[in-house]
Amino acid sequence: MNSIPPIDLKRQYQLIGEEVSAAVTAVLSSGRYIGGPVVQEFEQQFAAYTGVSEGVACNSGTDALYLALRALNIGAGDEVITTPFTFMATAEAITHAGATPVFVDIDPETFNIDITKIPPAITNKTKAIMPVHLFGHPVNMSALMDIAQAHNLLVIEDCAQATGAEWAGQKIGSIGHIGCFSFFPTKNLGGCGDGGAVTTNDQTLAASIRRLKEHGMSDRYHHQETGINSRLDALQAAILQIKLPYLERWNDARRQVAENYHRLLQPVSEIVLPQELSGGRAVWNQYTIRITKDSSNNEYRDWIRSQLQQFGISSMVYYPLPLHLQPVYENLGYQVGELPIVEGICHEVLSLPMFPEITLEEQEQVVYSLKDSLSL
Ligand SMILES: *Cc1c(COP(=O)(O)O)cnc(C)c1O
């Protein structure tokens, strides 16, 4: 049997390698490596794809989140409500902006923030909600925007894992005040290096982000505020420009892969399968199951994972420790047991190999090995 990686970016490159090489060569010979027409074109294309008027490219998804917070004047003394079940970058951006992340427990069905638990977490310091569309699954943005409007809160969408996902027919990143995207290679739209973008329909906000990402510079060498250096380079923009037209196709392929897993795993009783919310279009950055067979044993999932590895199947654990219990956030004073759903689920989750090019035979091998491991 072949070994199966969690994701294989080489297969995608084999498909589009020639186009990418030509685009890269064109940039190399143009002599314009930072900024310039390629970056501008990509910004416009990405904004059009997302269904907003403004797209601003930057150096990473992390920077996109930080720039969004800064542009919205969120900082010291402010609270931002978010999920504890996400990559560190979400909360890190809040901390870097000088604000305080407030973690709300998750919905066990979707792994996303439990919207019903947001209102009780709102205080007079709350400025914004930062929902994360985790694993490619859109948050119920209709319900979330209702709460935000009722309490006059800003909404910054962390779209890093869900480029192309939709809620109620609208692309995520176009529903809140600002959408933040990552083009890290393993995301649904990934470059060959770091990259990110911010989307919005607010021209003033977009202009502010453009300043902040270039050292707070309004006119050349005139600085209004303390910014950062966060530019998308022209090589990444050229590569992303080649890839963007393929994104819908790749997301459809991911949806097919998810459907296959679903069919193959349906009869297995010791696990819980991920579901797509009605009203949303998920783009499956991950296919994450819960292993509930021995939920009293916190090590059982890790044991299954090591069994799978012996069969040559590489699975991943996103995420083993929720953010409210991370050592770096000890100062926030969260106690074990405070967010019980996420604290239980982090011992159960297992992400199976998921990428558009995985074959049905490989999926069958994954499922076969998983069933075998569960029955040991
Ligand atoms: C990847 C990711 C980020 C950060 O993106 P980078 O481009 O790696 O900085 C932020 N939030 C989530 C949920 C992510 O998965």
Mean pLDDT of 168-189: 98
Sign of CA dihedral 285, 329, 67, 107: positive
Question: What local confidence, expressed as pLDDT, does residue 268 receive?
Answer: 86
CB-ligand 1 contact for 61 (6 Å cutoff): yes
Active site residues: 187
CA of 183 to the centre of ligand 1 (A): 8
Global confidence as pTM: 0.97
Mean pLDDT of 13-17: 94
Residue 365 binned pLDDT confidence (cut-offs 50, 70, 90): very high
Choice between 158 and 267, residue whose per-residue pLDDT is larger = 158
CA of 79 to the centre of ligand 1 (A): 20
Mean pLDDT of 13-21: 95
Mean pLDDT of 309-334: 97
CB-ligand 1 contact for 87 (6 Å cutoff): yes
CB-ligand 1 contact for 165 (6 Å cutoff): no
Query: Does residue 208 surpass a pLDDT of 90?
Result: yes
For residue 95, count CB atoms less than 10 angstroms from its CB and return exposed for 0-12, middle for 13-18, buried for 19 or more: middle
Query: Does residue 108 surpass a pLDDT of 70?
Result: yes
Q: Give the closest residue (by CA) to ligand 1 atom 10.
A: 89
pLDDT in tens, 276-295: 999 999 999 999 999 998 77
Query: What are the helix and strand counts (H, E) for the chain?
Result: 11, 13
Substitution site in 62, 65, 135 for ligand 1 pocket (most atoms within 8 Å of beta carbon): 62
Nearest to 115 by CA among 129, 94, 99: 129
CB-ligand 1 contact for 182 (6 Å cutoff): yes
The Cα–Cα gap between 371 and 376 comes to: 9
Structure tokens that stand for 357 in this block: 């090019």
* Phi, psi dihedral angles at 183 (to 5 degrees): -110, 25
Domain edges within the chain: 9-103+111-246, 248-375
Query: Does residue 85 surpass a pLDDT of 80?
Result: yes
CB-ligand 1 contact for 161 (6 Å cutoff): yes
Sign of CA dihedral 50, 55, 58, 64: negative
Substitution site in 58, 80, 90 for ligand 1 pocket (most atoms within 8 Å of beta carbon): 90
Choice between 120 and 218, residue whose per-residue pLDDT is larger = 120
The dotted CATH code for 248-375 is: 3.90.1150.10
Substitution site in 88, 92, 112, 158 for ligand 1 pocket (most atoms within 8 Å of beta carbon): 158
Query: Does residue 91 surpass a pLDDT of 90?
Result: yes
pLDDT in tens, 119-155: 999 999 999 999 999 999 999 999 999 999 999 999 9
Q: Give the closest residue (by CA) to ligand 1 atom 5.
A: 61
Residue 226 binned pLDDT confidence (cut-offs 50, 70, 90): very high
Query: Does residue 322 surpass a pLDDT of 90?
Result: yes
Percent of the chain with pLDDT strictly greater than 70? 100
Mean pLDDT of 188-204: 98
CA of 87 to the centre of ligand 1 (A): 6
Give 139's DSSP letter.
P
Index of the ligand 1 atom closest to the CA of residue 86 = 13
Structure tokens that stand for 250 in this block: 């790749």
CB-ligand 1 contact for 158 (6 Å cutoff): yes
Q: What class does CATH assign to 9-103+111-246? A: alpha beta
CB-ligand 1 contact for 62 (6 Å cutoff): yes
Substitution site in 59, 60, 182 for ligand 1 pocket (most atoms within 8 Å of beta carbon): 182
CA of 296 to the centre of ligand 1 (A): 32
CB-ligand 1 contact for 132 (6 Å cutoff): yes
